[in-house]
């Protein structure tokens, strides 16, 4: 049984850990995440929306679609982990990367924890 937080074996034998929640089963593969990330999308329809994609390595994966200035033309898609309490990027096998996020008339480079399959893709 995978747990989000560590509980010693003695605590498990005694009936579990207070506050520990089971990690949800994976619903996404590396191939599915990569395919979604590469697929075209309707910038107008997706602008400013968050899409829940599923679970990968025990963490929720989402796609955010921020836009600024000349919307919807500058809408981008950022697929990343939405880490829960106690989860870390390294702990779910993710990679910390910088992604361009539209901000005003420019962009801001912001950190995201992404599935490793997306770590080396071009901006």
Task: Give the per-residue SS3 of 9-58.
Answer: HHHHHCCCCCCCCECCCCCCCHHHHHHHHHCCCCHHHHCCCEEEEEEECC
Query: What is the mean pLDDT of the segment spanning 68-93?
Result: 95
Predicted local distance difference test score (pLDDT) of residue 7: 38
Residue-averaged pLDDT of the chain: 85
Beta bridge partners of 78: 64
Place of tokens 């994609």: 53
Q: Does 13 score more than 60 pLDDT?
A: no
Query: What is the mean pLDDT of the segment spanning 46-61?
Result: 97
Count CB neighbours of 90 within 10 A. Answer: 10
Tokens (6 digits) for 16: 């579990």
Q: What is the pLDDT of residues 97-110, one digit of tens each?
A: 999 999 989 899 99
Q: Does 76 score more than 60 pLDDT?
A: yes
């Amino acid at each position: 049984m995978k747990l989000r937080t560590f509980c010693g074996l003695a605590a498990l034998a005694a009936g579990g850990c207070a506050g520990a929640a089971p990690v949800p089963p994976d619903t996404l593969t590396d191939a599915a995440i990569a395919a979604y990330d590469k697929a075209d999308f309707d910038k107008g329809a997706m602008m400013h929306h968050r899409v829940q994609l599923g679970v990968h390595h025990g963490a929720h994966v989402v796609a955010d679609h921020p836009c600024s200035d000349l919307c919807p033309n500058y809408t981008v898609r950022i697929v990343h982990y939405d880490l829960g309490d106690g989860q870390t990027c390294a702990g779910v096998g993710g990679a910390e990367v910088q992604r361009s996020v539209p901000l005003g008339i420019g962009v801001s480079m912001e950190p995201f924890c992404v599935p490793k399959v997306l770590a080396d893709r071009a901006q």
